[in-house]
Every structure is written in C-alpha cells, then in structure tokens.
A and B are shown apart, each in its own frame.
Chain A
C-alpha cells in the first residue's frame, strides 16, 4: 500500500483518522518517517494536524504549557523555560532539535526520548484528545491517545538537574539519561522526583532512590543510600550503544555525580 499524508485542521479530526489501519501520527517525522524509510510496512498513512495551538508555548503563573508540535529547539531557546533548556538541548543535533517535537518525544522508545525523561521528573500533565492524565500513567500505556500538549510547574533552575550520558562527544545516542527535580529546605532534601531513561523501554521513576534522598543533604556521605538504591527495579535496554549490564553498572556513578554537581 503506497504511503500517504493526511492533514487536518484540528487534532480531533486527525485523531479520528488514526483509527484507519496503517495510520500513524506525524509530528516532526524523526520517528515515523524514519520507520517508513527503514521499511516498516505496517505504516502506510501519516496523519497530522496543522492546528496552530499545537505549536504554542505558554508560561503563566509558574506553569508552562507546551503544545505537542513544539520543537525541541523552541523549548531550548524560550526565555521562560531556561531552567529546563538543557533537557531539550540533549535531544539530537541541531537539525533533529528543529524537527523533533515534544509530543513525539513521549512516544520515543529507549534509547531515545530524553526530553520525556525530564517531563517525567517534572511530573507533567499530558493533555490528550481523551482528557488529561499524569505522565506516569500516560507512559505506562502510551496507547493510541493523541497528545495535544504537556504542562508542568517550571522549577527554579537550581532544583532541576539533568544529565544525558553518551559515548560520542559532544552528542550521541544515550547510554542513559537522568532527570531530577529536587526541592530542599536549609540544605536538606524535602522532596525529590527522579526519572531515568534507557532503564526500561520507556522513562521510569526511581522511587526507592527518591525515598532514600528525603531528609538527606546533597553531600557525599549523605547521598550514599540513594545512590545504592538507584538501580532498584531497573531493566535497562541492550542495544548497539551499551548492554543492559553496562547501563546498570554506570547508572549509580552518573547519578552520584548528578547529585553532587
């Protein structure tokens, strides 16, 4: 079946078209056009919406709402999103960042999806045509829902930590990525949300490490229990970049560095 592109003014219409066999939503094309180029014959129709709302970034009252079609480069250069810009800059090279969308990143299978790791640590809400849901619930299903955008409370820059580890410098596919939103009172961690990339087929929370970090200071001797717990429940992927064994081995090393940076 030859390929086709169907364009709709609204996301709802695009959503309906996705029920056709072989239809897949196209954002920037970095996932689905790649799949088609590589001979994925299960894909026959690209579906998109040109609704301008999908390309809007709004930051009001400390809360950011980012449309699903917003590209990584737009997030990275937005003056009110500088606190999380490094997560957007971690995606691809410049060309990919001009194409890859926030919505698409939520569907990227590991080792891709570095920005979704950040969104998980930010505890974002995912707005879909079928209503809003928490990002963890969204990622668990990642079913046929059509994403309109995401929203989250913009953390102070010092509370947001992010690292993407690659073997190629300065940029390469992730060995792993870690995002953390850490709130502290008088040097002691009040709450921590930690998200990991490449530690499963999709981003996951590191709940044991989060608990172990509560009440601790971010000093070498205090972070040890959290570092020891970071690998609990992970099932790292194995691919051409690294084996599951290697990813699990280096995860505590990079997590410790991220906490002490």
Chain B
C-alpha cells in the first residue's frame, strides 16, 4: 500500500484565540453541556424513566469485559482432527517473539508426514507483550491468541508460565496461590 501524505494545516492564531478568554468560554460550554446532559440522563434513569446511559463506564467485575472482535488475548494451541497438537515445533513463533517468552523444544514425531513435533511448549505470559506475531508467523495455524481470557493474574511469576497441555485446554491451569516468596 502506497503511503499517502495528508497536510494538516495548523489553525491560525487569531487575536481572539490568543486572548484565550473566548476559547476558555467555548471549552466551558462543551464540558458544561456534557455535565448537564449526563446529569439529566442519570436523573431520568434514577427515576426509572429509562433513556440513554449517562456514562460509558463498564462496571467491570460485575459486567464482563467487552473485548473487541480482534482483541489479542491469551494464546491457545490448536489441535488436529485427531486431537494431536498442530504444532510442528518449527520455532518460527519462538524466533519472531520480540519478548522471547516462548520456549519450545522439539522431538521426533511418530506421524509419518510431519516428522517433528513439540516436546515442550511454554509461554511465559509474564514476558509476553501480546503483539500477536507468533500467531502471524505460524505456518500451520497452530497458535492463536483468542482464548478471550484476560484475567491472568497470579501470585507468583512462575504461575504465569503456561505449558502445552494448559495452552491446549487439555489441563486446567493450576490456580495460583499466594506465596511468601514470590
């Protein structure tokens, strides 16, 4: 795609804008309008009259987080139809990863056609920057960043490391427990 250049002209500084008082007043009009409109909407809703909401706030723990359709969340390792991991341990994701959070070791695979597979596959979410390069680089569509899980906090750094079975949802992630020595 060719880059396009748009020239944005700086608004001219007239005497009126330099005096600033008028600009202050205009700004006040905007914020005050929001204040009054939102107050009215809050009041209507409080009285049970419905209408649009007065705030865009999501009350997060009670309301679930709304993720964008293309949000990159925790990694997921995909399986073939027979249930074996798709990953062929080509290490392209490990190579591209700018945070070096992926650690794979490979071994011979019993499958005749694809002779290599991952022996271990670890992602350290404590290092991951959620850039999505790994999913982009994967030649066999084995890794996605669409687990749609954002609650990944743990009590220890070690608990942030996910192994292959956990990433494939074969095994639930061990719950993190508080540690005296994090």
Partners in one complex: no
Residues of B bordering A, CB below 8 Å: none
